Amino acid sequence: MNRDLPMISIVTPCLNRVQFVEEAIQSVLRQDYPEVEHIVVDGASTDGTLEILRRYRHLSLISEPDDGHFHAINKAIRLAKGEIIGHLNSDDFYEDNVFSSVAQRFLDDPELDTLCGGAVVFDDGPEGKPVIVARYQRRRDKELSFHNVTLGAPIINARFFRRHVYERLGLYDTRYPIASDREFLIRAAIAGVKHAEIEPLVYHYRRHSGSLSINREGSHLGPLLEEHIGLSERYLQNGSVPMEFRRLCRIWHTRETCRMALQGLRSMGFRDAFRYVVRGFRHDAIWPWRVAPIAISRVLRASHLPARR
């Protein structure tokens, strides 16, 4: 081990990912940095995933039943030896040769707490060629800002953290099975941890039907929006957080209650739709006027009618 270089610990939660997990492992092995440990916490897979994982003797592997994605991540963080911690999902992969840039940025600034690179979301296209469906590569996409942790995309897998950030703020809150990464980033933003951005693309998110939060079918959309609404309400009721953050929480709450109300109407669940209207009013007296442009936009998009400028 080179004692002059900080170790990077990569933590990977995994359950029944036989189709993708080897690509994730290989993306860590292809890095240009010598001091890396890779911890995989498997939730007792039954589809052949474990046979693949056991072929890679360098992995620190645990396989046992767990309570979900973020419970597994918390286990891995507790085991991590590295000064720098990164998150790799078992169905995604890292860009080649980026760890040296990550480590150098931390070495250049000993007070830096967290660092974010670029990320893309892709579909597996024809003949296995990736088709990019979203990019998060602008500097403002990577900032640990109040806007990004509420209204933006968390892209936590393109982020790296010093271990002491977890020691200071705590681990992921498993009361939020889907949005725990966003909840953690909210805590980090409010705490004012020192953050920076790097130019290179770091992370590739795969969109597929089995993904917890990034899938075309939107199979977890309802539970995700419910977690977002609960999070925004939690901070709207907290008078000690910065006013700018509370303002963005109110906008976030309006957006997500609107989305849930529209979802209820589409499924003819008028009682559910009304419940979210009431929740919206509770924190925003002019909720209907704020919601109207969102609702009109979604109706026009659904009916394929061009919106007027």
How many whole angstroms separate alpha carbon 30 and alpha carbon 309? 48
Instruction: Look at residue 218 in the predicted model and tell me its pLDDT.
Output: 54
Percent of the chain topping pLDDT 90? 74
1, 8, 199, 91: CA torsion to nearest 10: 130
E strands, the chain, where? 8-14, 36-42, 60-63, 84-87, 93-94, 114-124, 130-136, 159-162, 195-206
Instruction: Look at residue 159 in the predicted model and tell me its pLDDT.
Output: 98
How many whole angstroms separate alpha carbon 277 and alpha carbon 273? 6
Burial of 267 (0-12, 13-18, 19+ CB in 10 A): exposed
Q: Is residue 252 predicted with pLDDT exceeding 80?
A: yes
- The contacts of residue 89 (CB under 8 Å, 6+ apart) are 12, 13, 24, 157, 205
- The contacts of residue 110 (CB under 8 Å, 6+ apart) are none
63 C-beta neighbours (distance < 10 Å), count: 17
How many whole angstroms separate alpha carbon 131 and alpha carbon 153? 19
Confidence of residue 305 (pLDDT cuts 50, 70, 90): very low
**Cα separation of the two ends of the chain:** 60
**Of residues 286, 280, 192, the one with CA closest to residue 236:** 280
Q: Is residue 299 predicted with pLDDT exceeding 80?
A: no
To the nearest whole number, what is the mean pLDDT of the chain? 89
**Looking at the domain that runs over 8-206, which CATH code has it been given?**
3.90.550.10
Q: What is the DSSP string of 245-258?
A: HHHHHHHHHHHHHH
How many whole angstroms separate alpha carbon 263 and alpha carbon 292? 15
**Of residues 62, 39, 68, 65, the one with CA closest to residue 50:** 62
pLDDT digits (tens, 9 = 90+) for 97-144: 999 999 999 999 999 999 999 999 999 888 778 899 999 999 999 999
Lowest mean pLDDT among 9-18, 158-167, 253-262: 253-262
Instruction: Look at residue 10 in the predicted model and tell me its pLDDT.
Output: 98
pLDDT digits (tens, 9 = 90+) for 147-185: 999 999 999 999 999 999 999 999 999 999 999 999 999
**Of residues 205, 210, 107, the one with CA closest to residue 158:** 205
Span 75-82, average pLDDT:
97
Instruction: Look at residue 264 in the predicted model and tell me its pLDDT.
Output: 75
pLDDT digits (tens, 9 = 90+) for 15-62: 999 999 999 999 999 999 999 999 999 999 999 999 999 999 999 999
pTM for the full model? 0.89
Pick the more confident residue, 182 or 286.
Answer: 182
Instruction: Look at residue 309 in the predicted model and tell me its pLDDT.
Output: 30
Instruction: Look at residue 285 in the predicted model and tell me its pLDDT.
Output: 74
Structure tokens at 98: 């980026």
E strands, 126-248, where? 130-136, 159-162, 195-206
Instruction: Look at residue 290 in the predicted model and tell me its pLDDT.
Output: 67
**Of residues 24, 214, 5, 217, the one with CA closest to residue 100:** 5
Instruction: Look at residue 280 in the predicted model and tell me its pLDDT.
Output: 85
- The contacts of residue 111 (CB under 8 Å, 6+ apart) are 194
Instruction: Look at residue 308 in the predicted model and tell me its pLDDT.
Output: 33
Instruction: Look at residue 291 in the predicted model and tell me its pLDDT.
Output: 65
Domain ranges of the chain: 8-206, 221-301
